[in-house]
Each structure stands twice: as C-alpha cells, then as structure tokens.
C-alpha cells in the first residue's frame, strides 16, 4: 500500500480526495440521492474548507440577495454528500451567502459524491450536446465544467467541439442581470437578444432594453441597433459650445445674406479659426452667387 501522503489541492480535488471527508465507509443515504438536483436545507450544508475566497463585497452581496428574494436562485450551488443528509459546499458560496442574507431556508443544489468528477464531466459534456438545451443551461454547464472539473476554456473547446469564442459568449450570459437570465431561461428572449444586450455595460439600460423587447417584440437586429446607439452615446465627446460671434462678423453675415439672398452661416472657434457657409437651393442660385463672387 502506498503510504506517501498526497498533498491537498485548493478546490474540488481537495474536497473529493481528502481523507477527512471520505465517505466510502459512511452511510450516505438520506432524503436526497447523489446525482439529484434538489432543494436542500441550508443548515445541512457545511462550508467549503478549501474556498480560497474569504472576502465578499457587502454591497454586491446585498444586491444579489435582493435579486434572489425577487427572482429566486437561477444557478444551483454544487454540494458533496458527506453523510446522512449532510452536505459540503463545492461551489456557489456567494449564492449561498446571499440566500442566507435573503432569509431563504432551502437552496437548489447539484448533489455530488466523492471521486465522481469523471462521471460529472461526461454527463455535462453529453448534456451540452443536446439540441433542445436552453442557452442559459448550456452556459451553466460550461461554467460548471470550468469550475468543478478544473479545465481551461481551450480544453473545454476540444471536449465539446465548439470554438473558444462560442464558449466565451455563452459564459458571458451568466453576467447579465437575473431578470434577463430568467427571460432567457423561459424562452422569452433568444440567445441573439441576450448577446446584443451584453454589449451595453449599464445594467439599468440592459433592463430597459429587455422591457422594450418584451413589450414591443423587437427583433435581434433592432436590439443590436439599439445597443450600438447606446454605445455611441456613451463614447461620443460632448459637443463643444459655439463661440459667440463678434459684432463685425455678425455684420459680415448680414451683409452676405443681403448680397446673395440666401442663408449664410459664419462659425468661429476659440482659436479664431472659422468658416463661412453660403447655402443654395438650386443651380440658378449657385450661378447667381458665383457671379457675385467673380465681381
């Protein structure tokens, strides 16, 4: 028997292979079986001892708690079954903390057992290949493969035969506000709608676009155009106020108007540079203006 002590990692492998939490000799029966997705009493979930992140921004956590209270939890957490109705958190600590803050007593969770990583990976990859799978479900599966199976996007690309850019576009859906994720999950908007909304950085504007999609039944192309216009309004520099014309230029403008009989525009910038624009409505007017200029 190999007695060499194996160093614990920080993540899923550490949880699944730790001798302190091995369940091979324990009774793991209970209300829910491994492999299920179920609502679990939060009091029965132990913290992840290998969680590298120990600080969570309070304001962001409160916003997530408010969203959970309003929309519920869209992405279940993942837990490992330890014993009789006891579980250990694998991933989703932020969601768990926000659920507690929101006053929830139970939380939806994927239930796993020790050393089932390969089975999970196979199941998730097979699930992603389904033709009828909702885009949000695909995004969640991609994220689980990355988080729980510790594979890179490049490795994931090989496993599911999809480009890295495609995988990135799906995962970005998980950054959208909960209301938009719910609309996508419930097929009220399409993947194309969601991808267009992502290009708008302000969450409030994203929700405003969602509302317009639902009330006006906007097409993907219309939403893309709306997102582009919003982007331009943010990046464009504000128009510089025009410098007031001095009296002598006002007199020149009036003189030219009287001379040509057409509107004349005179502009000047802060450096003293400017331009004179003489308008015309037809060929006769431009010929008349040309005759005056030749004199």
% the chain with pLDDT above 70:
74
For residues 57-86, average pLDDT:
87
Is the pLDDT reported for residue 54 higher than 90? no
What per-residue confidence (pLDDT) applies to 212?
92
Q: What's residue 188's pLDDT? A: 93
**Global confidence as pTM:** 0.51
Q: What is the mean pLDDT of residues 277-295?
A: 75
- The domain that contains 141 carries what CATH number? 1.10.10.2830
The whole-number pLDDT of residue 89 equals 85
Q: Specify whether the CB–CB gap between 263 and 279 falls below 8 A.
A: yes
8-12, 51-55, 272-276: segment of lowest average pLDDT: 8-12
In a domain, residue 7? The reply is no
Among residues 206, 235, 264, which one ends one of the domains?
A: 235
Non-local CB neighbours of 207 within 8 Å, separated by 6+ positions: 177, 179, 180
251 and 205 in a common domain: no
pLDDT tier at 206, thresholds 50, 70, 90: very high
CATH number where 26 lies: 3.90.1530.30
- Is the domain of 87 the same as that of 34? yes
The whole-number pLDDT of residue 262 equals 72
Predicted confidence at residue 20, as pLDDT, reads: 43
Same domain flag for 165 and 207: yes
Between these two residues, 53 and 46, which has the higher pLDDT value? 46
Domain that holds residue 127: 119-235
More confident residue, 5 or 231: 231
Lowest pLDDT segment from 118-127, 153-162, 201-210: 118-127
- Choose, from 93, 179, 224, 285, the residue flagged as catalytic: 93
**Angstrom distance (rounded) from CA 167 to CA 135:** 11
The alpha carbon of residue 194 and the mean position of all alpha carbons in its chain are separated, in whole angstroms, by: 9
What was the pLDDT predicted at 293? 74
pLDDT digits (tens, 9 = 90+) for 235-252: 444 545 556 677 787 777
Note whether 227 and 141 are same-domain residues.
yes
Say yes or no to pLDDT of 124 above 50: yes
Of 188, 182, 176, 206, give the one whose Cα is nearest residue 70.
182
What value does the mean pLDDT take over residues 119-126? 70
Taking a C-beta distance cutoff of 8 angstroms, is the pair 57, 39 a contact?
A: no
Say what the pLDDT of residue 90 is.
Answer: 80
Q: Is the pLDDT confidence value at 13 over 70?
A: no
Do residues 195 and 270 both lie within one domain?
A: no
Question: Per-residue pLDDT averaged across 98-121, rounded?
Answer: 82
| 224 is an active site residue | no
Shared-domain flag, residues 49 and 110: yes
Q: How many domains does the chain have?
A: 3
For the chain, give the percent of residues with pLDDT over 90. 28
**Residue range 40-49, pLDDT digits in tens:** 999 999 886 6
């Amino acid at each position: 028997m190999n007695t060499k002590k194996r160093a614990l990692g920080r993540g899923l492998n550490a949880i699944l292979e730790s001798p302190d939490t091995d369940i091979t000799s324990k009774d793991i029966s209970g209300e829910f079986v491994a492999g299920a997705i179920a609502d679990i009493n939060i009091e029965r979930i132990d913290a992840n001892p290998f969680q590298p992140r120990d600080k969570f921004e309070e304001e962001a956590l409160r916003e997530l708690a408010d969203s959970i209270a309003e929309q519920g939890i869209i992405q279940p957490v993942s837990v490992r079954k330890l014993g009789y109705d006891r579980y250990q958190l694998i991933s989703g600590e932020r969601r768990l903390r926000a659920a507690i803050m929101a006053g929830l007593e139970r939380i939806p969770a994927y239930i796993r057992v020790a050393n089932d990583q390969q089975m999970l990976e196979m199941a998730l990859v097979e699930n992603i290949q389904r033709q009828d799978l909702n885009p949000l479900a695909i995004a969640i599966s991609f994220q689980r493969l990355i988080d729980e199976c510790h594979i890179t996007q490049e490795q994931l690309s090989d496993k599911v035969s999809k480009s890295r850019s495609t995988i990135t576009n799906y995962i970005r859906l998980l950054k959208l506000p909960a209301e938009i994720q719910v609309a996508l999950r419930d097929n009220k908007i399409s993947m194309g709608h969601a991808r267009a909304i992502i290009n708008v950085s302000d969450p409030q504007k994203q929700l405003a676009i969602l509302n317009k999609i639902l009330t006006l039944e906007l097409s993907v192309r219309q939403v893309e155009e709306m997102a582009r216009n919003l982007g331009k309004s943010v990046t464009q520099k504000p128009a510089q106020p025009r410098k007031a014309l001095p009296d002598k230029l006002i007199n020149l403008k009036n003189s030219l108007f009287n001379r040509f009989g057409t509107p004349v525009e005179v502009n000047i910038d802060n450096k003293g540079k400017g331009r004179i624009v003489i308008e015309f409505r037809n060929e006769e007017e431009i010929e008349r203006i040309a005759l005056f200029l030749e004199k």
